[in-house]
Amino acid sequence: MRIITGSAKGIKLDAPRGLGTRPTTDRVKESVFNILGDIVIDAHVLDIFAGTGNLGLEALSRGAIEAVFIDNSIDSITIIKENARRTRLIEQTEIYKNDVIRALDRFVETSRSFDLIFCDPPYNKGLVEIVLKKIENTSLLKPQGILVIEHSKHEKITDQWSNLQLRRVEKYGETLISFLLYITNQEVK
C-alpha cells in the first residue's frame, strides 16, 4: 500500500497487523481517484472509519487542503499519525480517536462541513445505512459534495435519499464503491 501520485507519490504506508483493518487496495484506490479527478484539489476531506488513513492521505497528496481522520481503534490512530508523518502531510491533518457517529454529531453541532467524505466501515454491520441517514439531512457535506462509500456487495445502497443522489457504483470482487452527490432541496427545484 502506497501513495499513488502527488506530493507524496511512492511513499509506502503502514497497516496494522491482523484482520481488524481492511485497507483499500492500490488498484481500487487508483480507480476511485481517477473517477474523482480534480474534485480533490482544494477539498476539505473527512475520512471516517479511516483505518490506515490511506484515502485521506492520497487526497492530501493530490492537492486537498485538509483531511480529518476518525477511527475508534487506537492502533489505527497510531498508524494514521505515523503515515501522515511519513508522507510529510501531518500539518494538513486532524486525527481523532472517536466513535464515528459521535464525531459526525459533533461536526453537525459545530457546523463543520466537507467537500469530500470517504467512508469505509466494517462490512455487513449496518453502518452504511446509519452513516447515510446521518449525512442525509445535515450539513456535513457541502452542496455538490461527494460521499464515497466502500462496502460489501451484500450491503446495497439504494437511491432512496432526498439529498443524496447515487451517481455511480463500481464493483471490485466482493467490494462495491458507491459515489453519492449531495444536493440540497433548494438545488433540486
CATH code for the domain of 43: 3.40.50.150
119 occurs within a structural domain: yes
What pLDDT is stored for residue 25 in this prediction?
A: 79
Q: Domain containing 46: what range?
A: 26-188
Residues 42 and 96: beta-carbon distance below 8 Å = no
77 occurs within a structural domain: yes
185 backbone φψ class: left, alpha, beta (φ>0; ψ -120 to 50): alpha
179 occurs within a structural domain: yes
If you average pLDDT over residues 103-126, what whole number do you get?
94
38 occurs within a structural domain: yes
Question: What is this structure's pTM?
Answer: 0.92
- Look at the chain and report how many structural domains it folds into: 1
2 occurs within a structural domain: no
Banded pLDDT at 189 (limits 50, 70, 90): very low
21 occurs within a structural domain: no
pLDDT at 108 over 90: yes
10 occurs within a structural domain: no
111 occurs within a structural domain: yes
